[in-house]
Amino acid sequence: MPVESGSSAASRQAKQKRKSHSLSIRRTNSTEQERTGLQREMLEGQDSKLPLSLRSNLLDLFGQIEREFENLYIENIESSHSTSQLSQKLKTTYKASTSKIVSSFKATTSRAVCQLVKEYVGHRDGIWDLSVTRTQPVVLGTASADHSAMLWSIETGKCLLKYVGHAGSASGDQTAHIWRYMVQLPTPQPVADISQTPCDDDIDFSDKDEADGDGEGPNECPSIRMASTTLRSHQGVVIAADWLVGGKQVVTASWDRAANLYDVETSELVHSLTGHDQELTHCCTHPTQRLVVTSSRDTTFRLWDFRDPSIHSVNVFQGHTDTVTSAVFTVGDNVVSGSDDRTVKVWDLKNMRSPIATIRTDSAVNRISVSVSQRIIALPHDNRQVRLFDMSGVRLARLPHSNRQGHRRMVCCSAWCEDNSSCNLFSCGFDRQAIGWNINIPALLQEK
C-alpha cells in the first residue's frame, strides 16, 4: 500500500485548511446558505474520486431537490391549516343553519299555539286600556287617547257602542264616568283564518306609515254622550278604574298621586287612598276580597285592605327600581307586578318580603294580566311584543309578530277572557287597534 510522504501530507492539510477558510468566509446569515456550506464542507472532507467541480454541481442539485421537498412540506402544512379552517367554518355554518331550522320550528309551533283571530279597528288614536266584561253579555271594552271608549263584539269585531262623554283623553278631564247601555250582540260570521298567512317573523316596521291615516271610525256605530254617574274629586288625569267585589263601589287611580274609593249609587267619595310620592299608573281589585293594589311612578306598589270596615291597613312594597306600571291580583294569594325596569315579579300575599319569582325581559312591561284557570301571565311590551309566562317565571310563548300581523307600536295592555271560544286573550296599543288572540292553553302547557 503506497504511503504518502510527510511533505505531501502537510501540503494536503494546508490546502484543506485554505478551502475550509474560504468556505467559512462565503457563509451568510441565511439558514439555507449555512446548511449548504456545511454540506459542501462535509463532502469535501470525504475521500472521493469525483472531480471537485462535479461534486459541487451534485451538491447544488441536491440542495435544489431539498428546497423543493421543503416547499412541498410547507404547502402541505398550510393546506392542512386551511382544511382545518374550512372544517371549522363548515361546523359554524352548520350550527347556525341548524339553529335557524330549530327557530323556524319553534316559530311555527308558536303560531300554531297562539293565533291572531280578530282585529278591532276604529279608534283614531292610541288605545291605553282594554277589558272584558265579567257578566253576560261578554263584550270587549277599549279606552283611547281620542277621547272615546268603545264596546266591541268579540266574535264579529264590530263596534257596538261609542262613548264620547269625556272632555279629555280617556279620563284626562279628571273624572270617571259610569254609563249604561243595552247591548245587542250581532250574529257571529265565519272567521277567516289569517294565521296561515305567510309571515316573516321579527321584521321591524316601526317606521312604517299607518295604512289608514287618521281613519274614519267604525260605520253604523251608535254613540252616547251622557254618563249616568260622574265621579269627581281627582285633581289630575284619571288613569285607571276597577270595580270592588260586589259591584257597589269603584276605585280610581289618578296622576294626582291618590286613589279614590267611591259609592256608585250616591257618587260620594268613601276613601281617598294617599301616600304615593308620584303619579299613580294603575289600580286593581281582588276578585273575591275587599283588597286593592295601586302602582306608581315612585317605584312602589301598595296593598290596601278594606276587609275590616273599622281598619283600613296599607302595606308598601319596594321591589322595583323604576316605575311600577301595573300590579294585579291572581285568583290565589298572589300579586304580580310589572315595571319599566323590564322585570315582572310574583309575590305571595302571605309573605310579601321578597318575590317568589322574577321574570327578566328585554323591554319595559306595561299593563299585565293573569289568566284565571291556569294563571298564565301576559306581558305587553314597549317593543311591540306580547309574551306569555307561567307563575314560576318560565317563558311559554311569544305571540306572533310580523309585517302582516301583530302590533305596530307599543303594546299598552293585555286582558284574558278564558271562557270565550274564539278569543281568550286581548291586547291593545299605540297602533290604534285591539287584537283578539286564540291561545291553545293545553298545547301551550304541554310544550312546557
Q: What value does the mean pLDDT of the chain take?
A: 82
Q: Give domain limits for the chain.
A: 113-445
| Whether the predicted model's global pTM rises above the 0.95 cut | no
From 164-168, 189-193, 293-297, 342-346, the region with the lowest mean pLDDT: 189-193
The set of residues, in sequence order, having a beta carbon less than 8 Å from that of 153 and lying 6+ positions away, is: 139, 140, 159, 160, 185, 186, 188
Q: Is 113-445 a CATH 3.90.1150.10 domain?
A: no
Q: What is the mean pLDDT of residues 403-424?
A: 92
pLDDT of residue 24: 42
Residue 211 has pLDDT above 60, yes or no: no
At 421, is the pLDDT very low, low, confident or very high (cuts 50, 70, 90)? confident
- What are the phi and psi torsion angles at 440 (to 5°)? -80, 90
User: Between these two residues, 28 and 168, which has the higher pLDDT value?
Assistant: 168
User: What sign for the dihedral angle of Cα 159, 144, 229, 313?
Assistant: positive
pLDDT tens across 127-161, in order?
999 999 988 889 999 999 999 999 999 999 999 99
* Interaxial angle between packed helices 31-44 and 6-26, expressed in degrees from 0 to 180 and rounded to the nearest 10: 170
Place of cell 316605575: 323
pLDDT of residue 89: 61
At 10, is the pLDDT very low, low, confident or very high (cuts 50, 70, 90)? low
Residue 103 has pLDDT above 50, yes or no: no
From 52-61, 183-192, 401-410, the region with the lowest mean pLDDT: 183-192
At 201, is the pLDDT very low, low, confident or very high (cuts 50, 70, 90)? very low
Amino acid, res. 271:
H
Supply the DSSP string of 4-51, one letter for each residue: --HHHHHHHHHHHHHHHHHHHHH--S-HHHHHHHHHHHHHHTS--SS-
**Cα Rg, the chain, nearest whole Å:** 41
User: What sign for the dihedral angle of Cα 75, 81, 82, 84?
Assistant: positive
Beta strand pairing call for 301-308 and 291-296: antiparallel
264 burial (CB, 10 Å; 0-12 / 13-18 / 19+) is middle
pLDDT of residue 43: 54
Of all helices (H) and strands (E), which one includes residue 55? helix 52-113
pLDDT of residue 176: 94
pLDDT of residue 370: 97
Q: How far apart are CA 171 and CA 161, in angstroms?
A: 18
From 34-43, 86-95, 96-105, 421-430, the region with the lowest mean pLDDT: 96-105
pLDDT tens across 160-177, in order?
999 999 886 656 789 999
